Structure 1
Amino acid sequence: MPAPEQPPTLRERKKLRTRQSLVDTAVTLFGERGFDGTPLDALLEQVEVSRRTFFRNFHSKEDVALAAVKQLWDVYLEVLDDTEKSGPLADVFLGAMLTTLERMDDDWYRRFPRTLRLIADSPALDGHTLRHCAEVQTEIARRLDGRNRLELRLLIEFFVAAWRCTLDEWLPDCTRHELPALLRRTCSTMNSALTLEA
Protein backbone atom coordinates (compact mmCIF):
# COMPACT_ATOMS: atom_id res chain seq x y z
CA MET A 1 0.00 0.00 0.00
CA PRO A 2 1.55 3.35 -1.04
CA ALA A 3 2.29 5.87 1.68
CA PRO A 4 -0.18 8.78 1.84
CA GLU A 5 1.04 11.96 0.19
CA GLN A 6 2.34 14.55 2.59
CA PRO A 7 0.69 17.99 2.39
CA PRO A 8 2.93 20.66 0.90
CA THR A 9 5.08 22.56 3.38
CA LEU A 10 4.71 26.30 3.98
CA ARG A 11 7.84 26.89 1.91
CA GLU A 12 6.45 24.83 -1.00
CA ARG A 13 3.11 26.66 -0.85
CA LYS A 14 4.88 30.02 -0.86
CA LYS A 15 7.00 29.01 -3.84
CA LEU A 16 3.90 27.84 -5.70
CA ARG A 17 2.10 31.16 -4.98
CA THR A 18 5.12 33.13 -6.23
CA ARG A 19 5.30 31.09 -9.41
CA GLN A 20 1.56 31.48 -10.02
CA SER A 21 1.76 35.22 -9.40
CA LEU A 22 4.60 35.52 -11.93
CA VAL A 23 2.62 33.58 -14.54
CA ASP A 24 -0.63 35.51 -14.03
CA THR A 25 1.07 38.90 -13.93
CA ALA A 26 3.23 38.10 -16.96
CA VAL A 27 0.24 37.21 -19.14
CA THR A 28 -1.60 40.37 -18.07
CA LEU A 29 1.40 42.70 -18.34
CA PHE A 30 2.64 41.36 -21.66
CA GLY A 31 -0.92 41.49 -22.99
CA GLU A 32 -1.22 45.15 -22.07
CA ARG A 33 2.26 46.34 -23.10
CA GLY A 34 3.36 43.72 -25.61
CA PHE A 35 5.84 40.95 -24.91
CA ASP A 36 8.71 42.43 -26.91
CA GLY A 37 8.25 45.90 -25.44
CA THR A 38 8.08 44.85 -21.78
CA PRO A 39 11.39 44.32 -19.97
CA LEU A 40 11.69 41.53 -17.45
CA ASP A 41 12.36 44.07 -14.70
CA ALA A 42 8.84 45.48 -15.18
CA LEU A 43 7.40 42.06 -14.34
CA LEU A 44 9.70 41.62 -11.34
CA GLU A 45 8.72 45.04 -10.03
CA GLN A 46 5.00 44.25 -10.28
CA VAL A 47 5.32 40.92 -8.48
CA GLU A 48 7.97 42.29 -6.10
CA VAL A 49 10.47 39.50 -6.56
CA SER A 50 14.20 39.49 -7.27
CA ARG A 51 15.88 38.23 -10.43
CA ARG A 52 17.27 35.38 -8.35
CA THR A 53 13.76 34.32 -7.31
CA PHE A 54 12.52 34.59 -10.89
CA PHE A 55 15.31 32.42 -12.28
CA ARG A 56 14.68 29.79 -9.60
CA ASN A 57 11.23 29.39 -11.17
CA PHE A 58 11.75 30.10 -14.88
CA HIS A 59 14.58 29.96 -17.39
CA SER A 60 13.65 33.11 -19.26
CA LYS A 61 11.06 35.77 -19.98
CA GLU A 62 9.75 33.53 -22.79
CA ASP A 63 9.45 30.64 -20.35
CA VAL A 64 7.09 32.51 -18.00
CA ALA A 65 5.04 33.88 -20.90
CA LEU A 66 4.50 30.38 -22.28
CA ALA A 67 3.76 28.68 -18.95
CA ALA A 68 0.25 27.65 -20.07
CA VAL A 69 1.56 26.07 -23.28
CA LYS A 70 4.30 24.18 -21.46
CA GLN A 71 1.88 23.04 -18.75
CA LEU A 72 -0.41 21.58 -21.41
CA TRP A 73 2.34 19.56 -23.10
CA ASP A 74 3.87 18.42 -19.78
CA VAL A 75 0.50 16.99 -18.75
CA TYR A 76 -0.01 15.54 -22.23
CA LEU A 77 3.26 13.58 -22.02
CA GLU A 78 2.26 12.24 -18.59
CA VAL A 79 -1.17 11.20 -19.87
CA LEU A 80 0.36 9.61 -22.97
CA ASP A 81 2.70 7.55 -20.80
CA ASP A 82 -0.27 6.26 -18.80
CA THR A 83 -2.46 5.56 -21.84
CA GLU A 84 -2.86 2.02 -23.13
CA LYS A 85 -1.27 1.84 -26.57
CA SER A 86 -3.72 -0.22 -28.62
CA GLY A 87 -5.51 0.49 -31.87
CA PRO A 88 -4.67 3.32 -34.26
CA LEU A 89 -2.09 5.69 -32.81
CA ALA A 90 -4.06 8.66 -34.15
CA ASP A 91 -6.85 7.67 -31.75
CA VAL A 92 -4.33 7.28 -28.92
CA PHE A 93 -3.01 10.81 -29.53
CA LEU A 94 -6.51 12.24 -29.65
CA GLY A 95 -7.64 10.41 -26.52
CA ALA A 96 -4.57 11.59 -24.60
CA MET A 97 -5.23 15.22 -25.54
CA LEU A 98 -8.91 14.97 -24.59
CA THR A 99 -7.88 13.59 -21.19
CA THR A 100 -5.29 16.36 -20.87
CA LEU A 101 -7.92 19.02 -21.55
CA GLU A 102 -10.15 17.50 -18.84
CA ARG A 103 -7.30 17.90 -16.35
CA MET A 104 -6.76 21.58 -17.06
CA ASP A 105 -8.40 23.85 -14.47
CA ASP A 106 -10.33 27.09 -14.93
CA ASP A 107 -7.20 29.21 -14.35
CA TRP A 108 -5.49 27.45 -17.23
CA TYR A 109 -8.50 27.97 -19.53
CA ARG A 110 -8.39 31.65 -18.59
CA ARG A 111 -4.66 32.04 -19.28
CA PHE A 112 -4.28 29.84 -22.35
CA PRO A 113 -6.19 32.01 -24.88
CA ARG A 114 -4.34 35.09 -23.67
CA THR A 115 -1.07 33.23 -24.12
CA LEU A 116 -2.04 32.27 -27.69
CA ARG A 117 -2.70 35.94 -28.48
CA LEU A 118 0.70 36.88 -27.05
CA ILE A 119 2.34 34.30 -29.31
CA ALA A 120 0.49 35.62 -32.36
CA ASP A 121 1.71 39.16 -31.64
CA SER A 122 5.36 38.34 -30.90
CA PRO A 123 7.84 36.82 -33.38
CA ALA A 124 10.16 36.01 -30.47
CA LEU A 125 7.47 34.04 -28.63
CA ASP A 126 6.32 32.38 -31.83
CA GLY A 127 9.85 31.13 -32.50
CA HIS A 128 10.21 29.94 -28.91
CA THR A 129 6.89 28.09 -29.17
CA LEU A 130 7.90 26.37 -32.41
CA ARG A 131 11.15 25.16 -30.81
CA HIS A 132 9.29 23.86 -27.77
CA CYS A 133 6.74 22.10 -29.97
CA ALA A 134 9.53 20.42 -31.96
CA GLU A 135 11.08 19.21 -28.69
CA VAL A 136 7.75 17.78 -27.56
CA GLN A 137 7.25 16.00 -30.90
CA THR A 138 10.71 14.46 -30.65
CA GLU A 139 9.95 13.34 -27.09
CA ILE A 140 6.64 11.74 -28.15
CA ALA A 141 8.42 9.82 -30.91
CA ARG A 142 11.19 8.73 -28.53
CA ARG A 143 8.73 7.44 -25.94
CA LEU A 144 6.72 5.49 -28.50
CA ASP A 145 9.46 4.19 -30.75
CA GLY A 146 13.17 4.77 -30.29
CA ARG A 147 13.75 4.05 -33.98
CA ASN A 148 12.14 7.37 -34.95
CA ARG A 149 10.20 5.87 -37.88
CA LEU A 150 9.16 8.23 -40.66
CA GLU A 151 5.52 7.12 -40.41
CA LEU A 152 5.40 7.92 -36.70
CA ARG A 153 7.02 11.31 -37.19
CA LEU A 154 4.51 12.13 -39.92
CA LEU A 155 1.58 11.06 -37.75
CA ILE A 156 2.81 13.26 -34.88
CA GLU A 157 3.18 16.17 -37.33
CA PHE A 158 -0.39 15.61 -38.56
CA PHE A 159 -1.73 15.51 -35.01
CA VAL A 160 0.08 18.71 -34.01
CA ALA A 161 -1.17 20.39 -37.19
CA ALA A 162 -4.72 19.30 -36.29
CA TRP A 163 -4.23 20.77 -32.81
CA ARG A 164 -3.07 24.10 -34.26
CA CYS A 165 -6.02 24.22 -36.67
CA THR A 166 -8.31 23.48 -33.73
CA LEU A 167 -6.90 26.42 -31.79
CA ASP A 168 -7.42 28.70 -34.80
CA GLU A 169 -11.08 27.66 -34.78
CA TRP A 170 -11.34 28.02 -31.00
CA LEU A 171 -10.14 31.62 -30.95
CA PRO A 172 -11.61 34.15 -30.32
CA ASP A 173 -14.57 32.72 -28.34
CA CYS A 174 -12.49 30.28 -26.28
CA THR A 175 -15.38 28.50 -24.57
CA ARG A 176 -14.00 25.69 -22.42
CA HIS A 177 -16.48 23.00 -23.49
CA GLU A 178 -15.98 23.76 -27.20
CA LEU A 179 -12.29 22.91 -27.36
CA PRO A 180 -12.60 19.09 -27.07
CA ALA A 181 -15.47 19.03 -29.58
CA LEU A 182 -13.49 21.14 -32.06
CA LEU A 183 -10.47 18.86 -31.68
CA ARG A 184 -12.58 15.76 -32.35
CA ARG A 185 -14.04 17.40 -35.46
CA THR A 186 -10.64 18.48 -36.78
CA CYS A 187 -9.10 15.03 -36.26
CA SER A 188 -12.08 13.33 -37.90
CA THR A 189 -11.48 15.33 -41.09
CA MET A 190 -7.80 14.39 -41.36
CA ASN A 191 -8.33 11.39 -43.67
CA SER A 192 -10.56 13.31 -46.05
CA ALA A 193 -8.07 16.19 -46.05
CA LEU A 194 -5.32 13.82 -47.20
CA THR A 195 -7.41 12.72 -50.17
CA LEU A 196 -8.31 16.22 -51.39
CA GLU A 197 -7.84 16.62 -55.15
CA ALA A 198 -6.74 19.71 -57.04
Structure 2
Amino acid sequence: MRSLGALAKLPTVTPSEQPVGLRERKKLRTRQALADTAVTLFGERGFDGTPLDALLERVEVSRRTFFRNFRSKEDVALTAVKQLWDVYLDVLDSTEKSGPLADVFLDAMLTTLERMDEDWYRRFPLTLRLIDGSPALDGHSLRHCAEIQAEITRRLGGHSGPDGLELRLLIEFFVASWRCALDEWLPECAPGELPALLRRTCSSMSAALDLSLPA
Protein backbone atom coordinates (compact mmCIF):
# COMPACT_ATOMS: atom_id res chain seq x y z
CA MET A 1 0.00 0.00 0.00
CA ARG A 2 1.35 3.45 -0.89
CA SER A 3 1.90 6.00 1.86
CA LEU A 4 -0.11 9.20 1.83
CA GLY A 5 3.06 11.07 1.07
CA ALA A 6 2.78 9.69 -2.46
CA LEU A 7 -0.68 11.19 -2.91
CA ALA A 8 -1.42 14.65 -4.24
CA LYS A 9 -2.25 17.14 -1.51
CA LEU A 10 -5.64 18.74 -2.13
CA PRO A 11 -5.64 22.12 -0.35
CA THR A 12 -8.61 23.63 1.44
CA VAL A 13 -7.86 27.34 1.31
CA THR A 14 -9.50 29.91 3.57
CA PRO A 15 -9.81 33.58 2.44
CA SER A 16 -6.86 34.59 4.64
CA GLU A 17 -4.70 31.92 3.01
CA GLN A 18 -5.36 32.79 -0.64
CA PRO A 19 -2.21 32.42 -2.79
CA VAL A 20 -0.58 35.77 -3.47
CA GLY A 21 0.96 34.97 -6.86
CA LEU A 22 -1.04 35.16 -10.08
CA ARG A 23 0.18 31.72 -11.18
CA GLU A 24 -0.85 30.15 -7.87
CA ARG A 25 -4.27 31.82 -7.91
CA LYS A 26 -4.89 30.68 -11.48
CA LYS A 27 -3.93 27.10 -10.61
CA LEU A 28 -6.24 27.12 -7.59
CA ARG A 29 -9.13 28.46 -9.67
CA THR A 30 -8.57 25.70 -12.24
CA ARG A 31 -8.55 23.01 -9.53
CA GLN A 32 -11.71 24.41 -7.96
CA ALA A 33 -13.46 24.66 -11.32
CA LEU A 34 -12.59 21.03 -12.11
CA ALA A 35 -13.71 19.81 -8.68
CA ASP A 36 -16.95 21.82 -8.70
CA THR A 37 -17.85 20.86 -12.26
CA ALA A 38 -16.96 17.21 -11.72
CA VAL A 39 -19.48 16.58 -8.94
CA THR A 40 -22.18 18.47 -10.88
CA LEU A 41 -21.51 16.81 -14.24
CA PHE A 42 -21.05 13.31 -12.83
CA GLY A 43 -24.17 13.80 -10.75
CA GLU A 44 -26.16 14.67 -13.87
CA ARG A 45 -24.81 11.94 -16.15
CA GLY A 46 -23.47 9.30 -13.76
CA PHE A 47 -19.83 8.84 -12.88
CA ASP A 48 -19.23 5.58 -14.73
CA GLY A 49 -20.99 6.74 -17.89
CA THR A 50 -19.28 10.13 -18.18
CA PRO A 51 -15.88 10.19 -19.92
CA LEU A 52 -13.13 12.42 -18.63
CA ASP A 53 -13.17 14.35 -21.92
CA ALA A 54 -16.70 15.56 -21.13
CA LEU A 55 -15.40 17.21 -17.96
CA LEU A 56 -12.44 18.74 -19.79
CA GLU A 57 -14.77 20.12 -22.46
CA ARG A 58 -17.12 21.62 -19.85
CA VAL A 59 -14.28 23.36 -17.98
CA GLU A 60 -12.35 24.11 -21.20
CA VAL A 61 -9.00 22.70 -20.09
CA SER A 62 -6.60 20.29 -21.78
CA ARG A 63 -5.77 16.78 -20.62
CA ARG A 64 -2.28 18.04 -19.82
CA THR A 65 -3.69 20.73 -17.53
CA PHE A 66 -6.01 18.23 -15.89
CA PHE A 67 -3.21 15.77 -15.11
CA ARG A 68 -1.11 18.55 -13.63
CA ASN A 69 -3.83 18.93 -11.03
CA PHE A 70 -5.35 15.45 -10.59
CA ARG A 71 -4.24 11.88 -11.15
CA SER A 72 -7.50 10.49 -12.53
CA LYS A 73 -11.23 10.96 -12.97
CA GLU A 74 -11.72 9.24 -9.61
CA ASP A 75 -9.26 11.64 -7.98
CA VAL A 76 -11.15 14.77 -9.04
CA ALA A 77 -14.51 13.25 -8.12
CA LEU A 78 -13.25 12.57 -4.58
CA THR A 79 -11.76 16.02 -4.04
CA ALA A 80 -14.08 16.84 -1.12
CA VAL A 81 -13.35 13.52 0.61
CA LYS A 82 -9.59 13.92 0.22
CA GLN A 83 -9.72 17.54 1.40
CA LEU A 84 -11.50 16.40 4.55
CA TRP A 85 -8.90 13.79 5.43
CA ASP A 86 -5.96 16.05 4.50
CA VAL A 87 -7.23 18.62 6.99
CA TYR A 88 -8.00 15.90 9.54
CA LEU A 89 -4.40 14.62 9.45
CA ASP A 90 -3.09 18.18 9.87
CA VAL A 91 -5.40 18.74 12.84
CA LEU A 92 -4.46 15.40 14.37
CA ASP A 93 -0.76 16.26 14.11
CA SER A 94 -1.30 19.56 15.94
CA THR A 95 -3.60 18.12 18.62
CA GLU A 96 -2.23 17.47 22.09
CA LYS A 97 -2.15 13.70 22.56
CA SER A 98 -3.50 13.29 26.08
CA GLY A 99 -6.46 11.40 27.51
CA PRO A 100 -8.40 8.69 25.70
CA LEU A 101 -7.42 8.40 22.03
CA ALA A 102 -11.09 7.93 21.12
CA ASP A 103 -11.70 11.49 22.35
CA VAL A 104 -8.64 12.73 20.45
CA PHE A 105 -9.99 11.23 17.21
CA LEU A 106 -13.44 12.72 17.79
CA ASP A 107 -12.17 16.19 18.73
CA ALA A 108 -9.88 16.25 15.69
CA MET A 109 -12.81 15.52 13.37
CA LEU A 110 -15.02 18.12 15.04
CA THR A 111 -12.27 20.70 14.56
CA THR A 112 -11.86 19.58 10.96
CA LEU A 113 -15.57 20.07 10.26
CA GLU A 114 -15.37 23.59 11.72
CA ARG A 115 -12.62 24.44 9.25
CA MET A 116 -14.51 23.33 6.14
CA ASP A 117 -16.13 26.15 4.18
CA GLU A 118 -19.57 26.47 2.56
CA ASP A 119 -18.27 25.32 -0.81
CA TRP A 120 -17.02 22.09 0.76
CA TYR A 121 -20.33 21.50 2.52
CA ARG A 122 -22.03 21.89 -0.86
CA ARG A 123 -19.73 19.46 -2.68
CA PHE A 124 -19.33 16.83 0.03
CA PRO A 125 -22.93 15.46 -0.04
CA LEU A 126 -22.82 15.39 -3.85
CA THR A 127 -19.60 13.40 -3.62
CA LEU A 128 -21.13 10.90 -1.19
CA ARG A 129 -24.03 10.32 -3.59
CA LEU A 130 -21.59 9.78 -6.46
CA ILE A 131 -19.77 7.17 -4.39
CA ASP A 132 -23.05 5.40 -3.58
CA GLY A 133 -23.93 5.23 -7.28
CA SER A 134 -20.61 3.99 -8.66
CA PRO A 135 -18.90 0.69 -7.73
CA ALA A 136 -15.66 1.96 -9.28
CA LEU A 137 -15.70 5.18 -7.28
CA ASP A 138 -16.73 3.32 -4.15
CA GLY A 139 -13.71 1.04 -4.51
CA HIS A 140 -11.42 4.04 -5.01
CA SER A 141 -12.90 5.66 -1.90
CA LEU A 142 -12.38 2.51 0.17
CA ARG A 143 -8.75 2.31 -0.92
CA HIS A 144 -8.21 5.92 0.09
CA CYS A 145 -9.86 5.28 3.46
CA ALA A 146 -7.54 2.32 4.03
CA GLU A 147 -4.54 4.52 3.23
CA ILE A 148 -5.75 7.14 5.71
CA GLN A 149 -6.20 4.53 8.43
CA ALA A 150 -2.70 3.17 7.78
CA GLU A 151 -1.30 6.70 7.94
CA ILE A 152 -3.02 7.42 11.27
CA THR A 153 -1.63 4.15 12.62
CA ARG A 154 1.85 5.11 11.45
CA ARG A 155 1.68 8.59 13.00
CA LEU A 156 0.37 7.31 16.33
CA GLY A 157 2.40 4.12 16.49
CA GLY A 158 3.97 5.21 19.78
CA HIS A 159 0.52 5.06 21.42
CA SER A 160 -0.04 1.39 20.62
CA GLY A 161 1.18 -1.94 21.96
CA PRO A 162 3.84 -4.13 20.35
CA ASP A 163 1.59 -5.20 17.47
CA GLY A 164 -0.58 -2.09 17.34
CA LEU A 165 -3.77 -4.17 17.44
CA GLU A 166 -5.62 -1.96 19.92
CA LEU A 167 -4.83 1.20 17.97
CA ARG A 168 -5.89 -0.36 14.67
CA LEU A 169 -9.16 -1.52 16.22
CA LEU A 170 -9.81 1.92 17.70
CA ILE A 171 -9.26 3.58 14.32
CA GLU A 172 -11.63 1.07 12.72
CA PHE A 173 -14.26 1.84 15.36
CA PHE A 174 -13.88 5.58 14.80
CA VAL A 175 -14.19 5.25 11.02
CA ALA A 176 -17.28 3.05 11.51
CA SER A 177 -18.80 5.75 13.75
CA TRP A 178 -18.01 8.39 11.11
CA ARG A 179 -19.72 6.34 8.40
CA CYS A 180 -22.79 5.79 10.57
CA ALA A 181 -22.98 9.54 11.19
CA LEU A 182 -22.81 10.18 7.43
CA ASP A 183 -25.59 7.65 6.81
CA GLU A 184 -27.83 9.55 9.22
CA TRP A 185 -26.75 12.90 7.79
CA LEU A 186 -27.91 11.99 4.30
CA PRO A 187 -30.14 13.01 2.58
CA GLU A 188 -30.86 16.36 4.32
CA CYS A 189 -27.16 17.18 4.81
CA ALA A 190 -27.62 20.20 7.07
CA PRO A 191 -24.07 21.36 7.88
CA GLY A 192 -24.81 22.07 11.54
CA GLU A 193 -26.15 18.57 12.19
CA LEU A 194 -23.10 16.51 11.25
CA PRO A 195 -21.01 17.24 14.39
CA ALA A 196 -23.90 16.30 16.68
CA LEU A 197 -24.52 13.09 14.76
CA LEU A 198 -20.84 12.16 15.00
CA ARG A 199 -20.84 12.78 18.75
CA ARG A 200 -23.87 10.52 19.11
CA THR A 201 -22.47 7.65 17.06
CA CYS A 202 -19.12 7.78 18.87
CA SER A 203 -20.80 7.84 22.28
CA SER A 204 -22.89 4.80 21.27
CA MET A 205 -19.86 2.63 20.51
CA SER A 206 -19.38 1.32 24.05
CA ALA A 207 -23.04 0.38 24.32
CA ALA A 208 -22.87 -1.30 20.90
CA LEU A 209 -19.94 -3.48 22.03
CA ASP A 210 -21.97 -4.59 25.05
CA LEU A 211 -24.94 -5.76 22.99
CA SER A 212 -25.86 -9.39 23.52
CA LEU A 213 -28.46 -11.78 22.21
CA PRO A 214 -31.29 -12.87 24.53
CA ALA A 215 -30.65 -16.14 26.33
Query: TM-score higher than 0.5 here?
Result: yes
Matches of 2:143 and 2:163, distance apart in 1: 18
The correspondence of residues 5-154 of structure 1 with structure 2, limited to 5 A, is 8-145=20-157, 149-154=164-169
Greater RCO, CA 8 A, separation 6+: 2
Aligned residues: 194
SS of match in other structure, 2:188: coil
Q: Distance in 2 between matches of 1:7 and 1:56?
A: 18
| Structure 1: distance between partners of 2:163 and 2:205 | 22
- Kept in 1: contact 2:33–2:59 (CA 8 A): yes
Distance in 1 (alpha carbons) for counterparts of 2:177 and 2:205: 8
Q: Following superposition, which runs of at least 4 residues in structure 1 exceed 3 angstroms of deviation?
A: none
Query: CA 1:121 to 1:97, structure 2 compared with 1: closer, same or farther past 3 Å?
Result: same
Counterpart position of 2:185: 170
Cα contact 2:105–2:174 (8 A) shared by 1? yes
CA, structure 1 residues 195+123, in 2 after alignment: closer, same or farther (shift >3 Å)? Answer: same
Contact (CA 8 Å) 2:177, 2:198: kept in 1 or not? yes
Q: How far off its partner does 1:141 sit? A: 0.4
Task: Give the fraction of aligned pairs with identical amino acids, expressed as a percent.
Answer: 82
**Does residue 195 of the first structure (1) align with residue 207 of the second (2)?**
no
Q: Deviations over 1:2-37 (max 9, x none)?
A: xxx895200100000000000000000000000000
TM-score between the two structures when normalised by the length of structure 1: 0.96
Give the Cα separation in 1 of the matches to 2:130 and 2:102. Answer: 29
> Contact 1:22 / 1:43 at 8 angstroms: preserved in 2?
yes
Q: What SS class does the counterpart of residue 50 from structure 2 fall into? A: coil
- After alignment, is 84-93 or 5-14 more displaced? 5-14
**Structure 1 alignment gaps of length 5 or more:** none
**Aligned counterparts of 1:124 and 1:53: Cα–Cα separation in 2:** 24
Deviation at 1:148, TM superposition (A): 5.4
1:142–1:148 contact (8 Å) kept in structure 2: no
Change (3 A) 1:94 1:60: same
In 2, Cα distance between equivalents of 1:64 and 1:39 = 13
Distance 1:99 1:93 in 2: 10
Q: Which runs of 5+ in 2 are unaligned?
A: 1-16
CA distance in 1, matches of 2:74, 2:128: 13
1:172-198 per-residue CA deviation (whole Å, 9 max, x = no partner) reads 000010000000001000000000001
Alpha-carbon distance between aligned partners in 1 of 2:18 and 2:121, rounded to the nearest angstrom: 28
